[in-house]
Structure 1
Amino acid sequence: PEPNYKSRQLVSLAPQSNPIDTADMLRLLLIWAAILGCCHGQSEVSRRNSLLKVMSPPELEGTYGCASADFGFPQHAGSMTGVVVYPRPNTMACMNFDDFGISFRSRRAGGPPVILLVDRGGCYFTTKVQNGQKAGAAAVLIVNHRNEPLFAIDEPESGETTLDLHLQDITIPSALITKSLGESLRKASNNGDLVNVNLDWEESRPHPHERAEYEFWTNGNDECGPKCDEQVDFLKRFKGVAQTLEKKGYTQFTPHYITWYCPENFVLSKQCKSQCINHGRYCAPDPEQGFSKGYDGRDVVLQNLYQICVFKVAKKTGKPWLWWDYVTHFAIMCPMKKKMYTHECASGVIRSLGLSQKAVDMCVGDPHADEDHPVLKDEQDAQIGKGSRSDVTMLPTLVINNRQYKGQCSSLQFQ
């Protein structure tokens, strides 16, 4: 059965205009993070406008529309890159995958998130997503069985099903895709192709509700369109506040970067070679989300590694806030559009900040080595959730006090 669906209201955020003192600056961090879309959280918002970008196989490359669910974990202005898996059996995901001995959890740190592809029908949408989440999927794509316009998936009306009691436990995103796209993705997955996709959420704006020390999970990619532009703009605008908070001891900031490893069967493929370093161990999506032009994902991994190493070297000098100077200067001086996204340009920015180029290079190491990289391995390990902390699977993400930020959104004004 598919119940009637209810609509939800958009909400607005109105930050205070009165002067603030230093003690309130951390609150401003979270407010700006919410307004500029730097983090994600639980909210009462419409999430209908989403994009699904297929990066491989090549014959399916392109951007497609999808209709996000209005339940689960909203990815406010964030994105997620993962590998599409079509389950056999239980293709409708109406039964618990444990009954079939199926798990989508990675066997080791750094595995790409699994985006589960399931067929519509047979049970509630919420049932499909719950079963996918229990089995370890990071997101669920539901393939429509009719050729019709997409519609936003909402939760069942209150009282229609006992599953209402468990909706709050759904913490992964889901979306409805067209019949034609779903059939193409299903065919590619069944053929054994590596099906890489990127889910991009555009509309949500969360309201932060707590203050703490924080981690910012980000990416050095500047060619992913408006999302990258917004993130760079956030870094530039918030730099001064973040550095003041750090210098005065109000925060302890740590940047992090998501990487994933290439499945062993595809390590020697063109896709993995172009997206990964250290023999497929550390990968990032292609910047243009296509393999035929511009910079490659491996270039992004290298620049992410440079940014991590700059932070580590700066922290040893007692000036961790120099990371903010590096990433903002690099964005201005070394953009992909100007073909300046290079080691040479990065080195120039490092020297301009008075940091040791030798120390940074030693930290970066050899990206061609067929061995684990200690820094990037630590980053992959940090992506895995522990205790009450969830896995980090989408960009950007804010982690506060060792918990992913999940601020509730309402029409409150900040007084």
Structure 2
Amino acid sequence: IAYGTTATFGAPYYGERVLGQLLFGESAGRQHCTADDYKLAPPKARTPPGQEGGEAVQLVNVVLVRRGGCTFVTKVQVAQDTKEAHAVIVVDKETSKLSSEEIQQIVMADDGWGHKVRIPSMLVSRSDGQRLIDAAKRGPVVVELAWDIPRGHVVTADFWMSSGSRESSQFLERFRDSAETLKYRLQFVPHFHVFSLPQGASYNRLCVERIDGCDDCRPAADRYCATDPDGPGAVTGGHVANEDLRQLCIWNTTARQAAGDGALYSEEYWNYVVEFRSACPHAGKREANRFGFQCSQAAMEKVGISWDKVRECVRQNYQTFLDEQVERVAWSSQALRINGWRYSGPLDPENVLRAICNGYASPPTECELLQAGYKGVVVWTSAGLSFGRTLVALLFLGVMLTVVLVLYRRHVKTSVRQVLREEVMLEVQTQMSDYVPFEDSAGARHGGHK
């Protein structure tokens, strides 16, 4: 078994499997980046494993290529469009020393053209990949690619977002209680949608011109840009990229690990993103309560985060952190991976937490409660309602229900009486209108009755 990391483009859905024949062709020097760089032997009909004696079938093509020379997307698209590949395995560089465990932490990123890729692909370590290459050179090899969520006692959730996105911020706010419940069993990894633009043009509303709180920082022109969240409003893409950087530093300066092992968790980070969303809207009338540097400082102070530590992190790491965001892009500006698997469901806390719980080798109690309808926001303990308090509460509810019933009966009686009275009066008035009084003879001679 060889483990790898799934691409953030063309990725399959959870539970999908591909059974195919492994194909490899040596590169002519362009590192599997062009159609004419390598050739594949035509695949032969094979009998699937476990069906010996049955009819041979034409298996799909699983193409092996080496990493380097071009983007992952280019390699996979070449194999898809020109080699009839149904899946691609990318083998790490020959100089790489990454283990199978370490390779699973690599983001197999989209270069912006991943929407053209329709097939799944994955990156494996050099050692695992070389064994596959050697086997394919010796003769036909049948492989099965499985995209099950890897399981462990800690689940890793990589979330790509933008601090200026209302949808991302709303999700974080609603997911905070679940993150607080799981704490050191959930490794949350924030990523931000930061990109670069060609130099020489004017992108002053999209790109960072200066790093907030760091007079010595000199970001390259048009290097760190983000989506403008409010069009002609006061908030720019530069503001968003600066906030992305602050949130990365808040996470990195406050996240802690429980004694022993487990994931990193930061209560301060979750409190901050909720407070910032509430206190610093895009449409704030004053700078102090609008999305930006000043409002961010106030939000940090309110939730107990040291701005001095965050500022030092920004000063030392702004280039490294922002470069990582530019390079490690996902298939969308808002995306979620769970244990390396591409999450494709709705971005709401209940469905995301349910998917996360599927990634545990042994789901914790919180997940079991979730499957039973528990939302993960209230935890009952022995300090909750006692039997005596419960009995008193039930008696109180019984008394209140009795009072309500008595009052309702009175109301009904009163209403019925009033309706009957009105009906009787209406009938009397009708009968009276039909009554014609007799007049004296003189009155009758002059015109009858009145």
Say whether the fold is shared (TM-score over 0.5).
no
**Structure of higher RCO (CA pairs closer than 8 Å, 6+ residues apart):** 1
User: Which TM-score applies when normalising by structure 2?
Assistant: 0.40
User: Which TM-score applies when normalising by structure 1?
Assistant: 0.43
Larger radius of gyration: 2
